[in-house]
Amino acid sequence: MLDELPLVLDRDADEPLSVQVAEGLRAAASNGLLRADDRLPSSRALAQRLGVSRTVVAAAYDQLHAEGWIASRRGSGTFLTTAPAEAPARPSFRSTAEHPPELLDLGPGAPCIEAIDQAAWRRAWRAAADNSPIIRKDRGGEPEFRAAVAEHLLRHRGLGAGSRTVVLATAGTSSAVGELAAALLRPGDAIAMEDPGYQRAAGAFVAAGVRVIPVPIDADGLRVDRLPDGIKAVYCTPAHQFPLGTRMQAARRVQLVEFARRAGLLIIEDDYDGELRYDTAPLPLLAAMAPDVVVHLGTTSKILSPTLGIGWLVAAPDITEAIVAHRERTGTGPSPAGQRVLAAFAHHGDLARHLRRLRRAVPPRRALVVDELRRRGLDVLGDDAGSHVVVPLDSAETEQRAVAAGRARGVALDGLSRHHLAAQHHPLATAAGPHTFGIALGYTALSWTELTTAVPIAGECLTQAWVQPNSRATKGMLSGSEPATVAL
């Protein structure tokens, strides 16, 4: 029942008040304010609200009852029984996820929920709830969260936040990209991005009116020699390139930093899957090499859960001041609730223990995927890191067949084609070289039982999708405008 029905009566009109009440209720049903099975106020209560006699409302109800609009239920009240066909339907609360929930999702970019110590997770939420409500939130982030992130970055990523850099809380990577674009760039400015690359980051730039220029990658990472003149920034994922799964080599990192300093541009380093390395120690962060030209972005969405809805940004003080000023102007900023949970999770060492557990739990999953695919004669690309591998394919048609076959078998597969920053996807983007085709196959979203079911199905779908099973697409997989041979 609506607490307040939008009924307005005109006591100077020739039309009787009871007719006006009836017409108002019909209108409320027609425009969706009242729907079938909604309970109406009692005649006494509605009469008091409208300032009329109960007889007026009773007469209106009698008319609507005669027309079949309402019905009385003994002991329950009066209810609307019907509404016109054009009345708006009730809101749908179905999931807006890309894949229906019944599909086993082998897409990349998901956390390994099974590795989370549930007792520690609940303890962190309880500790966060013990804090008193705040009156005004700190636009830069909760102090205990920023301290926890600084400690995490120092111990696990080799990045010290000192006098030259400042840690800010964010609402995640895409949100941080949008804030950087709003605070530092102007509509029409150009930035360079890896192609294929992270579509949500590209979307955040485009939403701010920034022009996205795709730049190809090769086995060593972003092609610095293909960066155009006139750009204001470069966005890249050097730790574990998304979606191709390679890491930017040391020499290429030095080359990129030198280019940025010469050109006076900013490097936006998205540390995608940076904590997830299983074979060797990670290469130095770009932010550790060149804090003067690098903005470092991180998130809890991959190492813990997107439930928290938080991340972090590390940059020079002038950049962080511009972002905080933007938040003050717009009244925006990350929620303190998720920050408090992470701070509590890190306080007693649970975050460090979780990362160690994660590095033990994920490699067997990767091995399961790689072994199954190679047993079928399929090529597998990607460093021994992160949460996904890539199976290269020879054409868009083969990729589409594999995705369709997987869906028909109840498994969601992610084609590389959709990760290209082509002009048809982003009107402000500039197309780069030819597309690469394949499947980015993740192994962290599912439970171990689900994974052992889904991976053989995926292998069958990929094998059957090949038109020419003896051909392989590894050569030229990481190319610019001309083919390149890659050995990973």
Phi and psi torsions of 486, nearest 5°: -120, 135
pLDDT band at 89 (very low <50, low <70, confident <90, very high): very low
| Omega before residue 196 within 30° of 0, cis | yes
Residue closest to 286 by CA, chosen among 221, 225, 232, 229: 221
Model pLDDT, residue 83: 59
Question: Does residue 387 surpass a pLDDT of 60?
Answer: yes
pLDDT band at 277 (very low <50, low <70, confident <90, very high): confident
Q: What percentage of the chain carries pLDDT values higher than 70?
A: 87
Distance CA 453, CA 153 (A): 36
Question: Does residue 319 surpass a pLDDT of 50?
Answer: yes
Distance CA 263, CA 139 (A): 31
- Residues 159-201 have pLDDT tens digits of 887 768 999 999 999 999 999 999 999 999 999 999 999 999 9
Model pLDDT, residue 2: 54
Question: Does residue 488 surpass a pLDDT of 50?
Answer: no
Model pLDDT, residue 4: 65
Question: Does residue 470 surpass a pLDDT of 60?
Answer: no
Q: Are 474 and 381 in contact (CB under 8 A)?
A: yes
Question: Does residue 425 surpass a pLDDT of 50?
Answer: no
DSSP state at residue 375: H
Question: Does residue 73 surpass a pLDDT of 70?
Answer: yes
Q: Are 413 and 458 in contact (CB under 8 A)?
A: yes
Model pLDDT, residue 341: 96
Question: Does residue 380 surpass a pLDDT of 70?
Answer: yes
Q: Name the region of 232 (left: φ>0; alpha: ψ -120 to 50; beta: rest).
A: alpha
Concatenating the DSSP letter of every residue in 2-60 gives -SS------TTSSS-HHHHHHHHHHHHHHTTSS-TTPEEPPHHHHHHHHTS-HHHHHHH
Model pLDDT, residue 164: 84
Q: Which residues of 308-342 are buried (b: 16+ CB within 10 A; e: fewer)?
A: bbbbbbbbbeebbebbbebbeeeeebbebebbbbb
Q: Are 87 and 35 in contact (CB under 8 A)?
A: yes
pLDDT band at 436 (very low <50, low <70, confident <90, very high): confident
Give the sign of the dihedral formed by CA 271, CA 274, CA 280, CA 281: positive
pLDDT band at 84 (very low <50, low <70, confident <90, very high): low
Give the sign of the dihedral formed by CA 13, CA 19, CA 25, CA 26: negative
Q: What percentage of the chain carries pLDDT values higher than 90?
A: 61
- Residues 131-157 have pLDDT tens digits of 888 888 899 999 999 999 999 999 888
Q: Are 198 and 217 in contact (CB under 8 A)?
A: no
| Average of per-residue pLDDT across 230-238 | 96
Distance CA 327, CA 178 (A): 12
Is pLDDT larger for residue 120 or for residue 3? 120
Question: Does residue 85 surpass a pLDDT of 70?
Answer: no
Question: Does residue 86 surpass a pLDDT of 80?
Answer: no
Q: State the chain's mean pLDDT as an integer.
A: 86
Model pLDDT, residue 423: 42
Residue closest to 188 by CA, chosen among 227, 229, 228, 232: 232
Model pLDDT, residue 93: 45
pLDDT band at 98 (very low <50, low <70, confident <90, very high): low
Question: Does residue 213 surpass a pLDDT of 50?
Answer: yes
Model pLDDT, residue 435: 64
Tell me the CA end-to-end span of the chain in Å, nearest whole number: 64
Cβ contacts of 151-155, under 8 Å, gap ≥ 24: 151/346, 152/346, 152/351, 153/296, 153/298, 153/312, 153/314, 155/352
> How many other CB atoms are there within 10 angstroms of residue 290's CB atom?
18
Model pLDDT, residue 478: 52
DSSP state at residue 482: S
Distance CA 466, CA 484 (A): 22
